[in-house]
Amino acid sequence: MLFPGVRVVTVMLFVGGMVGAVVALYWRLRQRGKRRTEAAEGLLIEQERLRQLHGVRTSYNSISMHNMHGLTSEDLYKYHR
């Protein structure tokens, strides 16, 4: 072999790249939860969406879904405007 340490360098670069990718992904996911809006209008929109989400979670839980025949078009329109 011309350069015997090439394999070691390649492995070290690969591992370094993987560690860098994991750190970048971790940082990105941590920043994602901190992006709350500060404007009053944005907060009201966010609160309304959270209320809708809560309604969907309670309306379509496992028990209610097993006791009904499916979603109606009114149900789909209600939550997906």
Looking at per-residue confidence, does 36 or 46 come out higher? 46
User: Cα torsion at 68, 58, 54, 77 (round to 10°)?
Assistant: 10
2 or 35, which is more confident: 35
Is the pTM higher than 0.75? The answer reads no
- 52-77 pLDDT, tens digit per residue, is 888 877 777 666 666 666 556 666 66
Q: How many residues does the chain have?
A: 81
Which among 53, 81, 52, 56 has a CA at the least distance from the CA of 71? Answer: 56
Separation of alpha carbons 43 and 27, rounded Å: 25
Going from N- to C-terminal start, the domains of the chain cover 1-35, 38-81
